[in-house]
């Protein structure tokens, strides 16, 4: 019977374009869009930003600053170009202010509000670095460090060498592909897609209630609880298949398309168990919502709406570490967050003990949702009568 | 005790059941007693709100009456729910199947709910496809079928459970006359195979064609019961002026007078009919019109709802 049930639900999903869209296309599109959007390297982003610099054009500091700004990768354009993203103006007292601090605000920077806040911040930080180098350059110049160096590029090389701090620092924990911004969100979008199984489940339950199929089934030698569990198992198997497909696409295909290393599964058993628990929680939650709704409109609004809100709260759309503390702490109570975290733990090779907390939370959430869903389903089924 | 329209063995015995929905201040089933006879087709008819759906829901175990009892023929002590799951199939008015599955896939799914053995399941599906003339279209999606085929699939799914009792709700709604005739013929075959059919419909001609017994419901009560396979005939007499009691008494002792002053007499046999004609000749100057009719459901239906009794 389970085989027939799985077959039936699979055919119903395959024949429903909306279901296919939300279960496969939606998460794949999200993964592709988000990874592509985040795959642009900083150097490529900087190259796109045009900067015009004006004022005190005949001083050496002006040329040196131009050099450092261009060296950071900015597109330095003619100062008469009004279309530039950033305008920098040297005020008359700049040279004196640079080392001696005789006056404030001698370098005016206007950044176009067409740039996003994140890019504006990045531009501001890079320009400050350019100014710091210019200041070091001026200091070294005053100290006679360039007495035997003639060209600006040679002087700048000396400045860069003096300002270099890379030799002091060793970064650790960023040696996996998952730490790349572009690929970090892939597990999140996989979870997002898996949780959207609420829509096909709702559609089938509503249809069965409305067209008399459920009444008919009540006269068969199977209890409503048995039927419900059978249905949940069927969708569970289909959801596991969906998880497998999304794993192949998200971990292998998309990184390859982006020219990056595939996301390796460092702790495969943990990743597999994580998948089981993610599916379990998604199915239980979906059945709870599907049992509550009575119409297709309700299913779309409640099922879709709750999932989108939960994804937003779970840090899928805005990283949790940039959220205010209150929101970040709310996120840690979200099942989608636990699900994405435990999948990342499997990918990054965390120990079982570390992942146990998320697995346990998902299990408790699943049991509570499933029991509530079963109770509501049975209650509603008992109310069904012959029309 | 339940009213029985015939001497056939009883499949379901309903004894003075009462049921009231929490939202209503009246009984939707108000002491109904009736018997569903084995191997016969029993029609349950009545106007909207008469209690048909509630009665069928109670018979199928979908709701439990607050008073009275329902007994299925069979093993004593076995609950209605168990008997329903074992013996009953429903054919709702809606297309109670999956439109995106083919006929074969629909049948495969439903038969798997009742039959665990795969080999038996295949045999059942093959038999039902043939019985309902669906073999040629078995691989067609249900949503692409015509109304007639959809109705047949609705019936085929019920038959795949191999029930002895089948509940049908308007099984021919929305289909063309040829398809309707084919379905009526199919249901007739089921009856001849010994299946017990319980039929609800507003199409009286269909009920009359198919049903052996009919129960008329009104306001939660069975106000009439008739065995339609009898050879009952009626003589309706319309008088020129209001008829007096003496004239009616002259005719026969089983005459009834309706609100329009027409006298209706159930004819027992040919001798009775001849006797009536002889007596009528004595009151000839008062008779405006005579009408002779065979027993018809229309007659039963309208006279019952006019008079409030069978």
Task: Report B:205-234 residues touching A (Cβ under 8 A).
Answer: none
Q: φ, ψ for residue B36 (rounded to 5)?
A: -100, 125
Chain A neighbors of B58, CB-CB under 8 A: none
Task: Report B:79-138 residues touching A (Cβ under 8 A).
Answer: 84-86, 88-90, 92-98, 100-101, 105, 108-110, 112-114, 116
Task: Answer with the residue of higher pLDDT: A123 or B49.
Answer: A123
User: Is B95 close to A216, i.e. CB distance below 8 A?
Assistant: no
Q: Report whether B283 contacts B218 (CB < 8 A).
A: no
**Measured in Å, how far apart are chain B's first and last C-alpha atoms?**
17
User: Is B98 close to A16, i.e. CB distance below 8 A?
Assistant: no
User: Is B105 close to A212, i.e. CB distance below 8 A?
Assistant: no
Q: How far is A320 from chain B (nearest CA, A)?
A: 42
**pLDDT digit string, tens, across residues B143-202:** 999 999 999 999 999 999 999 999 998 888 888 888 889 999 999 999 999 999 999 988
Q: Report whether A374 contacts A228 (CB < 8 A).
A: yes
Q: Does B57 touch chain A (CB under 8 A)?
A: yes
Task: Answer with the residue of higher pLDDT: B123 or B299.
Answer: B123
- Residues A267 and B301: their CA atoms lie apart, in Å, by 76
Among candidate residues A235, A283, A184, A243, the one with its CA nearest the CA of residue A5: A235
CA separation (Å) from A338 to A29, A182, A274? 22, 20, 10
Residues linked to residue B106 through DSSP beta bridges, in sequence order: none
- Residues B93 and A292: their CA atoms lie apart, in Å, by 26
What's the average model confidence in pLDDT over B290-305? Answer: 66
**pLDDT digit string, tens, across residues B128-143:** 999 999 999 999 999 9
Looking at residue A264, its pLDDT comes to 85
Task: Report B:159-198 residues touching A (Cβ under 8 A).
Answer: 161, 167, 169
DSSP state for residue A23 in the 8-state scheme: I
- Residues A282 and A199: their CA atoms lie apart, in Å, by 11
Q: Report whether B28 contacts B247 (CB < 8 A).
A: no
User: Is A218 close to B157, i.e. CB distance below 8 A?
Assistant: no
User: Is B60 close to A219, i.e. CB distance below 8 A?
Assistant: yes
CA separation (Å) from A320 to A257, A325, A327, A344? 27, 9, 8, 15
User: Is A220 close to B114, i.e. CB distance below 8 A?
Assistant: yes
**Measured in Å, how far apart are chain A's first and last C-alpha atoms?**
28
- Residues A117 and B3: their CA atoms lie apart, in Å, by 84
Q: Does A2 touch chain B (CB under 8 A)?
A: no
Identify from B62, B64, B154, B164 which residue to disrupt to test chain A contact, counting A C-beta atoms within 10 A and taking the largest count.
B62
Give the SS3 label for residue B152. Answer: helix
- Residues A184 and A179: their CA atoms lie apart, in Å, by 6
Beta-carbon contacts of B154 under 8 Å, excluding residues fewer than 6 positions away, are B91, B92, B95, B96, B97, B171
- Residues B305 and B310: their CA atoms lie apart, in Å, by 9
Going residue by residue through chain A, which has 387 residues, state the pLDDT in tens, using 9 for 90 and above: 778 888 888 888 888 888 888 888 888 888 888 777 776 666 778 888 999 988 876 777 888 998 999 988 898 887 666 688 999 988 888 887 888 777 778 888 999 888 888 888 889 999 999 999 999 999 998 888 887 777 888 888 889 888 888 888 877 765 565 666 666 788 998 999 999 999 999 999 999 998 889 999 999 999 999 999 999 999 999 999 999 999 999 899 988 887 778 888 889 999 999 999 999 999 999 999 999 999 989 998 998 899 999 999 898 888 787 788 888 888 889 999 999 999 999 988 888 999 999 999 999 999 999 999 999 999 999 888 877
Among candidate residues A122, A255, A267, A245, the one with its CA nearest the CA of residue A181: A255
Q: Report whether B153 contacts B97 (CB < 8 A).
A: yes
User: Is A221 close to B86, i.e. CB distance below 8 A?
Assistant: yes
pTM above 0.80, yes or no: no
- Residues B165 and B12: their CA atoms lie apart, in Å, by 9
Beta-carbon contacts of B118 under 8 Å, excluding residues fewer than 6 positions away, are none
């Amino acid at each position: 019977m389970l085989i027939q049930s799985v077959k039936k639900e699979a055919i119903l999903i395959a024949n429903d374009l909306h279901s296919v869209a939300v279960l496969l296309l939606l998460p794949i599109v999200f993964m592709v869009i988000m990874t592509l959007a985040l795959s642009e390297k900083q150097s490529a982003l900087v190259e796109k930003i045009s900067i015009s610099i004006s004022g005190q054009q005949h001083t050496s500091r002006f040329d040196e600053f131009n050099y450092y700004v261009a060296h950071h990768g900015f597109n330095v354009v003619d100062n008469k170009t009004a279309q530039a993203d950033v305008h920098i103006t040297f005020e008359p007292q700049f040279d004196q202010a640079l080392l001696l601090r005789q006056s404030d605000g001698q370098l005016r920077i206007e950044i176009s509000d067409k740039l996003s806040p994140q890019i504006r911040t990045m531009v501001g930080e890079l320009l400050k670095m350019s100014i710091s180098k210019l200041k070091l350059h001026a200091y070294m110049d005053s100290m006679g460090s360039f007495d035997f160096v003639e060209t600006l590029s040679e002087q700048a090389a000396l400045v860069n060498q003096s300002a270099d701090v890379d030799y002091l620092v060793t970064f650790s924990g960023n040696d996996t592909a998952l730490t790349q911004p572009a690929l970090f969100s892939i597990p999140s979008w996989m979870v997002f897609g898996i949780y959207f199984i609420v829509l096909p489940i709702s559609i089938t339950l509503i249809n069965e209630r409305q067209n008399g199929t459920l009444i008919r089934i009540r006269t068969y030698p199977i209890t409503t609880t048995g039927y419900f569990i059978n249905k949940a198992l069927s969708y569970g198997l289909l959801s596991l298949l969906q998880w497998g497909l999304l794993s192949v696409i998200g971990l292998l295909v998309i990184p390859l398309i982006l020219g990056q290393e595939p996301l390796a599964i460092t702790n495969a058993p943990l990743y597999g168990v994580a998948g089981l628990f993610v599916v379990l929680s998604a199915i239980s939650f979906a059945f709870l919502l599907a049992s509550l709704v009575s119409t297709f409109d309700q299913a779309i609004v409640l099922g879709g709406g709750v999932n989108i809100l939960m994804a937003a709260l779970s840090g899928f759309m805005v990283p949790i570490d940039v959220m205010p503390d209150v929101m970040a702490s709310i996120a840690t109570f979200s099942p989608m967050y636990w699900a994405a975290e435990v999948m990342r733990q499997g990918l990054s090779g965390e120990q079982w003990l570390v992942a146990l907390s998320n697995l346990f939370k998902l299990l408790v959430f699943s049991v509570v949702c499933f029991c509530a869903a079963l109770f509501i389903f049975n209650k509603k089924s008992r109310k069904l009568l012959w029309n | 005790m339940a009213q029985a329209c015939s001497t056939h063995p009883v499949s379901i015995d309903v004894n003075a059941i009462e049921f009231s929905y929490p939202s209503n201040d009246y009984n939707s089933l108000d002491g109904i007693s009736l018997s569903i006879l084995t191997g016969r087709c029993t029609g349950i008819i009545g106007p909207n709100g008469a209690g048909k759906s509630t009665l069928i829901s109670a018979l199928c175990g979908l709701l439990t009456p607050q008073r009275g009892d329902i007994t299925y023929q069979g093993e004593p002590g076995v609950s209605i729910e168990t008997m329903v799951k074992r013996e009953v199939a429903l054919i709702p008015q809606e297309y109670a199947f999956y439109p995106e599955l083919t006929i074969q896939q629909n049948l495969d799914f439903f038969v798997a709910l009742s039959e665990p053995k795969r080999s038996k399941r295949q045999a059942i599906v093959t038999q039902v496809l043939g019985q309902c003339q669906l073999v040629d279209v078995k691989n067609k999606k249900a949503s692409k079928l015509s109304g007639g085929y959809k109705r047949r699939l609705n019936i085929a799914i019920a038959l795949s459970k191999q029930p002895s009792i089948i509940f049908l709700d308007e099984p021919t709604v929305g289909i063309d006359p040829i398809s309707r005739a084919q379905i009526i013929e199919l249901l007739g075959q089921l009856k001849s195979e010994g299946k017990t059919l319980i039929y609800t419909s507003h199409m009286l001609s269909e009920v009359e064609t198919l049903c052996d017994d009919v129960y008329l419901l009104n306001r939660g009560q069975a106000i009439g019961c008739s065995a339609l396979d009898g050879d009952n005939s009626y003589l309706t007499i319309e008088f020129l002026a209001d008829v007096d009691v003496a004239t009616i008494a002259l005719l026969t002792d089983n005459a009834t007078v309706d609100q329009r002053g027409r006298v209706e007499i159930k004819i027992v046999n040919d001798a009775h009919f001849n006797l009536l004609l002889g007596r009528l000749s004595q009151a000839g100057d008062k008779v405006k019109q005579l009408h002779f009719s065979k027993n018809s459901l229309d007659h039963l239906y309208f006279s019952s709802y006019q008079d409030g009794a069978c």
